[in-house]
Copies of this chain bind each other. A is one copy, B any other.
Amino acid sequence: MKNPESSPAASIPDVFDPTCSSRHALELIAGKWPMLIISALENGPMRNAALMRRLGDISQKMLTQTLKELERNGLVIREDMRTVPPHVEYSLSPVGRSLSETLLVLDRWAETHFGALDAARERYDTERRK
C-alpha cells in the first residue's frame, strides 16, 4: 500500500530508496521555485500577480507551471472566482501547510547562514585560482 517495489522485508518509507515515491515527493519540491512558492503562500491566499511580485524574478510561465504541478500533487488549492476580469486565488492545502512549516525553517536557515556560504565560496575560489 505504501512501497510496493522495495525489498520484501523493508517496506519502510525511505527517501533514499529510488523506488519509493517519497523520493518523488522530495523531487517535487527540489526545483528552483516550488519551495519559494509554498513559502509565499504561508500567509494566506494569493493571486497570480501578487505571487509574481513577491517572487521577484519568476516568469509567468514558470509560475503557472509550478502552481499547476503543486496543485496536481495536492499541495496547493486553486480557486477560480469565475468573474470577469478573472480572479484566481491560490492557497495551501492542509498538506501544503504542513510542508510550509518545514520550509520556513529552511528559509530562515538560508537567511541566517548565507553569509557563511558566501565567505566559504570566496575562500575556496581564491585558493584554487580557477
A binding-site residues for B, Cβ under 8 Å? 1-2, 13-18, 20-32, 35-36, 39-40, 54-57, 71-75, 95, 98-99, 102-103, 105-107, 109-121, 123-125
Cα of A124 to Cα of B75 in the assembled complex, Å:
12
Q: Chain A interface mostly helix, strand, loop or mixed?
A: helix
Question: Which of B26, B57, B98, B109 contacts A102 (CB under 8 A)?
Answer: B109
Alpha-carbon gap, A113 to B22, bound state (A): 8
Q: Which residue in B16, B24, B109 is a CB contact (below 8 Å) of A117? A: B24
The contact of A72 among B99, B111, B120, by CB within 8 Å, is B120
Cβ-defined contact, A16 with B54, below 8 A:
yes
Known: A25-B110, A25-B114, A102-B102. 12 other contacts (CB 8 A): A13-B112, A15-B110, A15-B111, A16-B40, A16-B54, A16-B55, A21-B114, A26-B107, A73-B124, A74-B121, A95-B117, A99-B113
Name the residue of chain B whose CB is nearest to the CB of A14. Answer: B111
